[in-house]
Amino acid sequence: MREIKHWLDGQAVPGTSGRQLPVWDPATGEQQAYVVAATAAETDAAVASALAAYPAWRAASLSRRAEVMFRFRELVDANRKEIASLVSAEHGKTVADAAGELARGLENIEFATGAPHLLKGGYSEQASTGVDVYSIRQPLGVVAGITPFNFPAMVPMWMFCNALVCGNTFVLKPSEKDPSVSLLLADLLRQAGLPDGAFNVVQGDREAVERLIEHPDVQALSFVGSTPIARAVYEAGTRAGKRVQALGGAKNHMVVLPDADVDAAADAAVSAGYGSAGERCMAVSVVVAVGAVADPLVAAISERIGRIAVGPATDPAAEMGPLITREHRDRVAGYLAEPGAAEVVVDGRAAPISQGPGFFLGASLVDKVTPDSALYRDEIFGPVLSVVRAGSYDEAVQLVNDNEYGNGTAIFTRDGGAARQFQYDVVCGMVGVNVPVPVPVAYYSFGGWKSSLFGDLHMYGPEGIQFYTRSKVVTSRWPDPATSEVDLGFPKVR
């Protein structure tokens, strides 16, 4: 069976621990490959490789670093089909969905190519008599990324593109559930001219993560995953003296006001709720139907669910694929078994494809969900869309603001005043107005509030540049030696 290897010093290397982790084919339920989980010593070797490569890569000119990113962008674009197919085979999402993920990843590469402009500092001439002051941004050193299974190509690009172009070297620990694309990206970086050792990959699980967190030569950690683990990574990483950005879970609400176009809102809810089988941190998982719009909206969503083609990515007609593992599929289905007072309008367990093979679950719709239920509280991360009925705009906003998570939210309305008030009122990091999945473009930054983010800087975009660099301020003076004298007073700026 195929072994998915580590990447060290510019080449794929086999694992040595003997501890194998299975990589499943979600569409068939069969094992297709395995990774050998990295030991602490193997993780140390990856960090040591990155540390050795750092001085030369840091010294590379901004133009040189940007050139590598330009070449990498062209190679990723030229290999779109292969990358998307590889993501699809291990994650289960359709090839079209994987291609969409890759397109957003390409945007991040394109943003990173602008580093020569983004890393410009400020300069103040004559801040004091004969004194100039200027600021510069410098890289941190070796940085690491720990990425989730749901976007195995895009999320790593959120991290390593900015990190590398800023002059850092990078160690990636991808999800063990769909790790192959990490090696393909590593090889494309090599082809683009990135020096060996500047980008390394360690396959594995908790042992590798814990070693990266505690390793004294790792200066910063970027993480995307569930809230409990994000909180643990943030606390352990900061306790170890590292800079950490840890993005956690979500419970994204889509508020639909009575004046909204019902068909457009239903289209958006279905697209955002069931795309990638709901395995997106920006998926809409709660529709908040305000007032009289509830009944027609539920009916419109239900009607559309019946037209969703669920199947393996090898089926060209498939619009939604399986979930990542059998355990995850069963956990998601468990919410439908105990809906409490809520009404299961469409039960995905009844879909013929949900009987196997593979880890499929049909799209599900649950109406009249209450805020005290597990359906509402938990991040389900699957194709289950809950509808909560609210009596007013104020009640809808209160629901969003009282929720533990603050990742993304959206409002559907024809009233510009209501939309503007919503973006002002809502306590959330990313807001959509008639846009159900408000993922910012690459030249803004991605991240939520509350329990959806641990750290003070969001991911990618301008805040990504800030995260992977630190500011240094230089005060310079070139006096005439004849004027030099001892002065124990406080430095003057007049």
Q: Which residues pair with 169 in a beta bridge?
A: 142
| Known catalytic residue at 428 | no
Distance CA 332, CA 285 (A): 12
Q: Residue 161 in contact with residue 112, Cβ under 8 Å?
A: yes
Q: Which residues pair with 44 in a beta bridge?
A: none
Torsion-angle region of 86 (φ positive above 0: left; ψ -120 to 50: alpha; else: beta): alpha
* Contacts of residue 432, Cβ cutoff 8 Å, sequence gap at least 6: 408, 409, 410, 411, 438
CA-based nearest residue to 27, from 356, 264, 347, 332: 356
Angle at 437 between CA 431 and CA 438, to 5 degrees: 35
Q: Residue 205 in contact with residue 12, Cβ under 8 Å?
A: no
Both tokens assigned to 494: 């007049």
Both tokens assigned to 197: 């050792």
> Which residue in the list 161, 166, 281, 428 is annotated as catalytic?
281
Angle at 226 between CA 224 and CA 227, to 5 degrees: 105
Residue 456 CB-half CA count within 13 A: 3
* Contacts of residue 316, Cβ cutoff 8 Å, sequence gap at least 6: none
What are all long-range contacts of 11-19, with beta carbons under 8 Å and residues at least 24 apart?
11/196, 12/183, 12/187, 15/42, 15/203, 15/204, 16/42, 17/42
* Contacts of residue 183, Cβ cutoff 8 Å, sequence gap at least 6: 4, 5, 7, 12, 201
- DSSP string covering 342-365, please? SEEEE-GGGSGGGGSSSS----EE
Both tokens assigned to 301: 């969503």
Distance CA 166, CA 469 (A): 7
Q: Which residues are catalytic?
A: 281
